[in-house]
Amino acid sequence: MASVRYLLQCALSKYSNKAHCRRHFYDALEVIPKAHQKESILHLFIKQIQAIYREEGKLAGLSSEERLAQRQLVVKPLVDAFFAYLKQNETKAPKSGKTRETFTYALNQKRYLRVFLDDGDLPIDNNASERAIRGFCIVKKNWEMIDTINEATSSAIIYSIAETAKANNLKPFDYFEYLLTEIPKHAEDKNTDFLTEFLPWSKSLLEHIRKSKKAVEK
User: What are 70's strand-pairing partners?
Assistant: none
**Residue predicted with more confidence, 68 or 142:** 68
Read off the pLDDT of residues 1-43 as tens digits, 9 standing for 90 and up.
444 444 444 443 444 556 678 788 888 888 888 888 888 888 8
Distance CA 158, CA 151 (A): 11
Residues 76 and 26: their CA atoms lie apart, in Å, by 22
Q: What local confidence, expressed as pLDDT, does residue 118 receive?
A: 93
Distance, CA of 26 to CA of 18 (rounded, Å): 13
Read off the pLDDT of residues 36-63 as tens digits, 9 standing for 90 and up.
Answer: 888 888 888 999 999 999 999 999 889 9
Looking at residue 4, what is its pLDDT? 43
For residues 189-208, average pLDDT:
91
Q: Would you say residue 85 has pLDDT above 70?
A: yes
User: If you average pLDDT over residues 148-177, what whole number do you get?
Assistant: 88
**How confident is the model at residue 13, as a pLDDT?**
42
* Cα–Cα distance for residue pair 69/59, rounded to 1 Å: 10
Q: Can you say whether the dihedral through the CA atoms of 24, 27, 31, 33 is positive or negative? A: positive
pLDDT value, residue 9: 45
Contact 83, 110 (CB under 8 A): yes
pLDDT band at 182 (very low <50, low <70, confident <90, very high): very high
Q: Assess contact for 139 and 87: CB atoms under 8 A.
A: no
